[in-house]
Amino acid sequence: MGEISYYSCRLRSLSVVIPAYNEEQRLPSTLDAVLAYLRAGKYGPWELIMVNDGSKDGTADLVKRRIAAGEPNLRLLENPGNRGKGYSVKHGMLEARHEWALFSDADLSAPIEELGKLFAAVDRTQAAVAIGSRALDRSLIGTHQSAFRELGGRSFNLLVQLGTGLRFWDTQCGFKLFRRDVAQVVFKRQQLERFGFDVEALFIAQKHGFKIAEVAVRWNHVDGTKVSLATDSVDMFGDIARVRWKDIKGLYR
């Protein structure tokens, strides 16, 4: 019912932001899938923004070839070196031109077709932000992470709730939709550049009073994750404290 409501209303304009670091091998299939979905006519004006995070392979050249071959709605943004996923998402979201902006992982672990569920939630709840979630309905997970990673994710989320007051069951799923004006407020204030940025972005959105809907989506673990259990996980736990400290210092006002 929610999706019917969305597709029966006027077509919204959409920016899709995908951060990429050394994604030359799987990027062709990702571009094919996302471009086919966007061309299907469910949206008004649209764009696909690829953000190259200082890749050392042919990621940027691959996107440039697609643009040169006649993809007018495909854009390439270049970071000043390898800055991290958080920096990449911020870069892309602040450059988004259309009224709604989605950021998605390059591996499409949450299929692009799940975007309809986020828009349905926006229509149903009048939210300004809709986030994909693996935790609300784990039967939608096709391919699971290792048991150790899943346990770490659940532990991290509990600490997020305790440390920030956010009441979401999955802050880390890389599939989040923002109304453009809200994205400008949130990502201009974002400070964290690596994998803890999701918590910070949601904390800022909630602090500014924007309604956030958490939505169960299909999800599959894809080999080749850029998150290191040895280093990035430690940083992410530290980021919870950093978010609270930055809030105390008034950096999110």
Domains of the chain: 2-248 (3.90.550.10)
The predicted pLDDT at position 146 comes to 87
Angle, in degrees to the nearest 10, between helices 197-207 and 85-95:
50
3-state secondary structure of 171: coil
The predicted pLDDT at position 78 comes to 98
In this structure, what token pair is assigned to residue 196?
A: 């803890």
73 DSSP assignment: T
In this structure, what token pair is assigned to residue 72?
A: 């007018």
pLDDT in tens, the chain (253 residues): 334 343 334 689 999 999 999 999 999 999 999 999 999 988 999 999 999 999 999 999 999 999 999 999 999 999 999 999 999 999 999 999 999 999 999 999 999 999 999 999 999 999 999 999 999 999 999 999 888 888 888 888 899 999 999 999 999 999 999 999 999 999 999 999 988 999 999 999 999 999 999 999 999 999 876 555 545 567 888 999 999 999 999 999 9
SS (H, E, C) 218-232: CECCCCCCCCCCCCH
Residue whose C-alpha is closest to residue 15's, from 124, 118, 101, 79: 101
Residue 230's CB: how many other CB atoms inside 10 A? 6
140 DSSP assignment: G
**H helices of the chain, where?**
2-8, 27-39, 59-68, 85-95, 115-125, 147-164, 180-189, 197-207, 232-248
pTM above 0.85, yes or no: yes
d(CA 88, CA 19): 6
Query: What region, left, alpha or beta, does residue 226 occupy, with left being phi > 0 and alpha being psi -120 to 50 degrees?
Result: alpha
| CA terminus-to-terminus distance, the chain | 38
In this structure, what token pair is assigned to residue 117?
A: 């569920």
Residue whose C-alpha is closest to residue 214's, from 184, 165, 173: 173
Find tokens 């996923």 and name the residue.
85
In this structure, what token pair is assigned to residue 54?
A: 């200082």
In this structure, what token pair is assigned to residue 127?
A: 């939210």
